[in-house]
Amino acid sequence: MSNKKVSIATATLVFFISFSTFSKPEMIIGEAEIEPGIKLIFEGGIKDEITPTNVYLNEIETDVHLEILANWSNEAPKGAPKGGHVAYLEVEAIIRNEKTGAYNSVKLTPHLNMSDNLHYAQNIKLPGNTDEKYTVRFIIKSPIPGTIGMHYDWRNEVSDVISSGGNFTFTNLNFEEVANSSRR
């Protein structure tokens, strides 16, 4: 797909997400696809109250709700529900302040909400001011061995949940608008 088509598709997606959340900003960081047919959408979401509150960063201490939507694409293996959530992935994000070099590393865990349904996310505190530029590196790996049983047919046809995993780096990100927004 050409860069122009990707830009138009991303702009269209941002437009619809913005209006579907009543004009509250959702930041589409990027999109990618990994084998075997998993579509990824990386987002900087508006901070939110996540329960259980003793496990997740409190909303008032949060700058951004970092998210990855991981869904089966049209290229998914036979039997995978097109558009369905891909469960049990190991997802990490490293957020680096481009000015100071300070960084945070967080594990994105399964979350559930009404707009995205199942996704991977985490409330995060940026390693610097909200008006500074950031680089975010997302690392996606296959499930930890033993967390998902794979039947013979899957192993024979696909061999793993993710054959290659992925590292995705996005630079020059400004989370200021999202960080200064509120869901309520």
Query: pLDDT in tens for each of the 184 residues of the chain?
Result: 544 444 444 444 444 444 444 456 689 999 999 999 999 999 999 999 999 999 999 999 999 999 999 999 999 998 899 999 999 999 999 999 999 999 999 999 999 988 889 999 999 999 999 999 999 999 999 888 888 898 898 888 888 777 677 999 999 999 999 999 988 8
pLDDT at 21: 41
Residue 20 counted as domain residue: no
Residue 155 counted as domain residue: yes
Residue 106 counted as domain residue: yes
Residue 16 counted as domain residue: no
Handedness of CA 107, 180, 182, 178 (dihedral sign): negative
Residue 111 counted as domain residue: yes
Residue 61 counted as domain residue: yes
Number of domains forming the structure of the chain: 1
Residue 139 counted as domain residue: yes
Residue type at 119?
A: H
Residue 84 counted as domain residue: yes
Whole-number Å distance between alpha carbons of 184 and 182: 5
Q: What is the CATH number of the domain that holds 118?
A: 2.60.40.2480
The string of pLDDT tens digits covering residues 51-98 is: 999 999 999 999 999 999 999 999 999 889 999 999 999 999 999 999
Residues 6 or more apart in contact with residue 124 via CB below 8 angstroms:
57, 62, 63, 64, 65, 66, 93, 95, 104, 106
Give the domain extent around 112: 26-179
